[in-house]
Chains A and B, each alone.
Chain A
Amino acid sequence: MSRQQLTQHYTRILTRWPVDLLRPEERSFQHLLRQRIQSPPTDSAVGGKEVNAAYLLLDNTFTKQFPLPQSLMKPASNPNHYTDLARELEEAPSRTWFGNFAKRVKNMVRFK
């Protein structure tokens, strides 16, 4: 696999990799991919394995190969755990300072 092909693969992976709004840019996977695009690995076998692994991850290969039982994704101690988490992760990046403050105050008192 030539350097140009590797670069094209990395670019495709960069386009499709999910964006992370919660972590700083230096800790984002996109940062790693951009570094790889600028200087692709010299050993094409290593680069090929990396690119292949990235594609497998993008395709959710392991999620499909090892499906988790519903009991694990709706745990008995808190069936809404993962749905609540997903909603919170969606809302958190766009919340204003006051929204964060109000949420913290509201969470101080929990009714059973």
Chain B
Amino acid sequence: MAASSVCASCLRALRQQARTQLPAPAPRTAFKPTAQRQHLLPHRALSTSPRALNEQHRSPTASTTPTPPPPPSSSTNPPSNAPLSSSSPSTPAGFDTLATTLRDSTAPLLRQTTEPYIAYGSTATLFRACAAQCSYTIPALLASPPQPPPKNAAEEDVGVGEGWWVTPKPNGGLGLDVTFNTWAQVVMLHMYLLTVRLRCFPAVHAPIWHQNLLDHFFYAAEDRMAVWHGMSARSVRNKYLKDLWLQWRGLLLSYDEGLVKGDAVLAAAVWRNVFRAQEGEGVVGDVGTVVGYMRRELGMLGGMSDLEVSEGRVVFGRPEGVGRLVGRESAWMRRSFVAEDFKGVEGK
């Protein structure tokens, strides 16, 4: 007799499978506008409304007092409370006007009702951009029969990865160990860049966006632990997730400190986090590459508008180009040494 409920592992496997087989999601809009309805919806995407954002930037007090929803700015759109005689039969008449009214309202309570849903969807796209930088599988588990995964010196499972960060150095990559910790650090680094950009959202919305981005990361991390590292016990996964949370908070602080105090401090933070404070050969050069990449991407994100970021249209650049920047000779290489330069080793 078939079981009436699906076990958690099968459910996860089905979900993974379904996720890989689904086509890329369509651009996010609250409702799919059919041809006949398209002219009735005001032109906006699933995002923090740019008009309201601009209004908030220009007059911070406008959002504090509730005002009736403004009439649509475009002259081609009818007033939002006009009856929709040509709405498709599947959507109840007037339902999409209600959602549109909620979305475009300048009343804070109505905007905030819809913000978490929009943030959830857009941060999923943003997180996918982060996770695309580095991914790995453990082929031993896919063999028949499944073999125990190979371990490195620190007893971590080692996989086969793709992405510049885990590509071996002879092939032009950074050559990091292909472990869960590396994956987490690389993804958290990119999430940090997005976090800095999301701080520029209005104060009432920024925490929602930060929280949703983090949620996506922790869902993915727990998924990875269960699927690729055999942690079927929730208590074990929770223990590692709590540790991952501490790592995230420490990373936020360290990288922010590096932003404030300069490249050297940011380099030390990257060395401690991404490179696990190891003294590998040529590690300082690699750290320099990562720092250059971070600052380049931050500059790129800083130049994007709030609308673009809230629609999830972020594409990270390629880290390979930064290698040339680190290869430029510094003026210090040819400068002669003075007595002051050797004070660092005195008294030790």
Contact = CB atoms under 8 A, between A and B. Distances in A.
Interface of A: 8-9, 11-12, 14-18, 20, 23, 26-30, 32-37, 41, 43, 46, 48-63, 65-69, 71-73, 75-78, 81-82, 85-86, 89
Interface centre among B202, B264, B271 (most CB of A within 10 A): B264
Query: Majority SS of interface residues in chain B?
Result: helix
A20 B263 contact: no
Contact of B281 (A14, A41, A56, A57): A41
* 3 cross-chain pairs, A with B, having the tightest CB-CB distances, nearest first: A15-B344, A53-B288, A75-B199
22 contacts: A11-B344, A11-B345, A14-B344, A15-B340, A15-B341, A15-B344, A26-B277, A29-B271, A51-B333, A53-B284, A53-B287, A61-B328, A62-B263, A65-B295, A66-B298, A68-B298, A71-B302, A75-B200, A76-B57, A76-B200, A77-B201, A82-B259
B140 interface: no
Interface in B137-194: none
B312 interface: no
Given A53-B326, A55-B330, A72 B197 contact: yes
Interface in B270-285: 271-272, 277, 279, 281-285
A46 B271 CA distance: 17
Given A15-B340, A76-B201, A77-B206, A49 B262 contact: no
B260 A56 contact: no
Contacts, number: 182
A37 B348 CA distance: 12
B325 A65 contact: yes
Contacts of B330: 52, 55-56, 59, 61
Interface of B: 57, 196-197, 199-203, 205-207, 253, 256-257, 259-265, 267-268, 271-272, 277, 279, 281-285, 287-289, 291-292, 295-296, 298-299, 301-303, 325-333, 337, 340-345, 348
